[in-house]
């Protein structure tokens, strides 16, 4: 018992926690450089020049770790777009002052043409500045977020770059859209994939990432993590206010039965212009749990969490998904996320366990095509059991054709030719894709 208490004290010791943060080679050096630099704040590249033997990756990770514990404060400069817009306004006002006398003396048409010319000039300058200075990646992220917020899932899939780009956030948006369209278990390999992190990207506590993760977890049926990510996104938002994430907090608190908390958030959103109607919709569920359970959106997710045991966190995602599918055997998004996560990891044991645990469950009927292909992958030499798991004759026949094509390609040395016909199958992904 004494040894156990000693170990607990050591683990919880604040001095130990501080030393673990700063007593590595780079953390101390970075803190010292930032503290005693004489010329004011430092840019990233300037800091790296002052510490020449540190790599860019190590400096980035060190700064993130130190910023999380408030050892330094990052100060972002206004984007160039703001300066460009300011100069555009100044130029427009100058032109108005110089031309005002001549224009007004020209009569009525002159007085009409001047403001029109000003508006056109200002619009052109703002448009040019936006194209020149706005971040392309930021624009793409905002566009995908808009489609996600408005439920335009096909527009997400049609977004340029998803089929050719291996961007982790893009992959998460695309897979979320496929899940909403009930196609995640059939079509993920129609697009570029980034492994399991293309399903659930690592959290970096930014607004964009936290909002996307909240949407992903909410779709899975993991209400606890959806709520946690909503809180993180709120903290990272400007002035710690984000109406979209407030809406998520309404949804999650209604599911958990915290009507008083949900009502507080509803009152806040009802004062907004864009979210007032959405917030008022959820007022009907206050004090009426039977209505909440009967609602297609809230009731299905309530069934996902009512039998969960233990803590829910990002490190326990697979065990949580297992609990969700056993709690609500009809919630297909959880089945598809769980299954595709196993497939992308190429973990045959996890794939086998998933197939065995979900056999015959309503959420697997009809069985998605990729899961049928995984059954064949696991039971390749047991053709007699394929149909018992839900493998259709079409998928079985396609596997036989694929196997024959692989043998022919090996003899001819032209394996690259398989992608055109079988690039969207799990068999091709397992053999040829990293």
Q: Which pLDDT band holds residue 218 (cuts at 50, 70, 90)?
A: very high
- Lowest average pLDDT, out of 108-112, 414-418, 419-423, goes to 108-112
- Rounded Cα–Cα distance for residues 27 and 238 (Å): 29
What percent of the chain stands above pLDDT 90? 47
Cβ neighbours of 351 (radius 10 Å): 21
Average pLDDT score over residue span 104-119: 65
The pLDDT score that the predictor gives to residue 95 is 65
Whether residue 289 is predicted with pLDDT greater than 80 in this model: the reply is yes
Apex 192 CA angle, 189 and 193, nearest 5: 80
More confident residue, 381 or 36: 381
- Rounded Cα–Cα distance for residues 253 and 11 (Å): 34
Whether residue 358 is predicted with pLDDT greater than 80 in this model: the reply is yes
- Rounded Cα–Cα distance for residues 90 and 102 (Å): 20
What is the Rg, in whole angstroms, of the alpha carbon atoms belonging to the chain? 28
Structure tokens at 348: 């045959």
Whether residue 5 is predicted with pLDDT greater than 50 in this model: the reply is no
Name residues whose C-beta falls within 8 Å of residue 360's C-beta, 6 or more positions apart in sequence: none
Average pLDDT score over residue span 298-324: 82
Average pLDDT score over residue span 142-154: 92
């Amino acid at each position: 018992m004494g040894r156990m208490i000693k170990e607990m004290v050591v683990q919880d010791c604040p001095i130990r926690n501080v030393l673990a943060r700063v007593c590595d080679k780079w953390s101390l050096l970075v803190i010292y450089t930032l503290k005693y630099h004489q010329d004011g704040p430092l840019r990233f590249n300037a800091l790296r020049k002052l510490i020449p033997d540190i790599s860019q990756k190590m400096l980035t990770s060190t700064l993130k770790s130190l910023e999380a514990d408030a050892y330094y404060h990052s100060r972002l400069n206004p984007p160039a777009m703001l300066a460009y817009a300011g100069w555009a306004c100044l130029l427009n006002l100058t032109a108005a002052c110089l031309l005002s006398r001549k224009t007004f003396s020209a009569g009525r048409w002159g007085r009409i043409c001047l403001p029109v010319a000003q508006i056109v000039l200002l619009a052109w300058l703002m448009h040019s500045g936006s194209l020149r200075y706005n971040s392309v990646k930021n624009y793409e992220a905002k566009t995908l977020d808009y489609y996600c917020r408005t439920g335009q899932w096909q527009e997400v899939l049609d977004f340029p770059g998803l089929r050719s780009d291996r961007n982790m956030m893009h992959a998460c948006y695309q897979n979320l859209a496929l899940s909403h369209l009930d196609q995640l278990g059939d079509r993920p390999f129609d697009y570029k994939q980034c492994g399991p992190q293309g399903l659930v990207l690592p959290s970096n506590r930014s607004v964009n990432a936290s909002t996307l993760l909240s949407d992903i977890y909410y779709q899975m049926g993991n209400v606890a993590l959806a709520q946690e990510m909503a809180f993180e996104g709120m903290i990272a938002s400007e002035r710690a206010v984000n109406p979209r994430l407030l809406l998520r907090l309404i949804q999650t608190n209604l599911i958990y039965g915290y009507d008083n908390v949900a009502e507080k958030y509803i009152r806040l959103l009802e004062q907004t212009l864009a979210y007032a109607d959405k917030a008022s919709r959820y007022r009907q569920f206050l004090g009426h749990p039977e209505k909440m359970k009967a609602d297609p959106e809230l009731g299905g997710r309530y069934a996902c969490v009512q039998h969960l045991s233990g803590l829910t966190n990002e490190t326990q995602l697979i065990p949580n998904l297992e609990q969700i599918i056993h709690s609500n055997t009809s919630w297909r998004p959880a089945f598809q996320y769980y299954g595709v996560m196993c497939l992308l990891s190429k973990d045959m044991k996890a794939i086998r366990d998933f197939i065995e645990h979900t056999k015959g469950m309503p959420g697997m009927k009809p069985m998605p095509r990729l899961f049928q292909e995984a059954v064949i992958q696991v039971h390749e030499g047991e053709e007699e059991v394929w149909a018992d798991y839900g493998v259709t004759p079409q998928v079985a026949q396609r596997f036989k054709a694929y196997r024959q094509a692989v043998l022919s390609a090996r003899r001819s040395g032209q394996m690259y030719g398989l992608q055109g016909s079988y690039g969207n199958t799990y068999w091709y992904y397992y053999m040829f894709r990293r």
